[in-house]
Amino acid sequence: MGLQASPEKKGEARGHRSQEELLPMTFKDRAAAPAHVPVRFLDQESVLLNLETERYFGLDETGTRMWQLLTTSPSINAAYQGTARGI
């Protein structure tokens, strides 16, 4: 399934991000989905839906596991270490 995005709305540039969305993160930061982006898990895959933009992203088994590690680990570095160990 891979990472998929819904089609852009008319007049919206693909890949355009606001400055707020581009704030740099470090390995010490903790990743979390905003309140307006619910995540649903379906077997080994998942879907993230941005309720503000109506865009969705589908994650395959690998992407779902990485998402789970990123959002449950105390830092991005801890999630990275977990993926490096194959957890």
**Residue 59 belongs to a domain:** yes
**What is the distance between the alpha carbons of residues 26 and 39, in angstroms, rounded to a whole number?**
23
In the chain, the number of structural domains is 1
Per-residue pLDDT tens over the stretch 25-76: 888 999 999 999 999 999 999 999 999 999 999 999 999 999 999 999 999 9
DSSP secondary structure string for all residues of 24-83: ---TTS-----TT--EEEETTEEEEEETTTTEEEEE-HHHHHHHHHHHHSSSHHHHHHHH
Residue 20 lies in a domain: no
Beta-bridge partners for 46: 41, 59
In a domain, residue 53? The reply is yes
Could you tell me if 74 and 30 are in contact, meaning their C-beta atoms sit under 8 angstroms apart?
yes
In a domain, 21, yes or no: no
What average pLDDT does the chain have? Answer: 81
Answer yes or no: is 74 within a domain. Answer: yes
55 assigned to some structural domain: yes
Full-model pTM: 0.67
Let me know if residue 45 belongs to a domain. yes
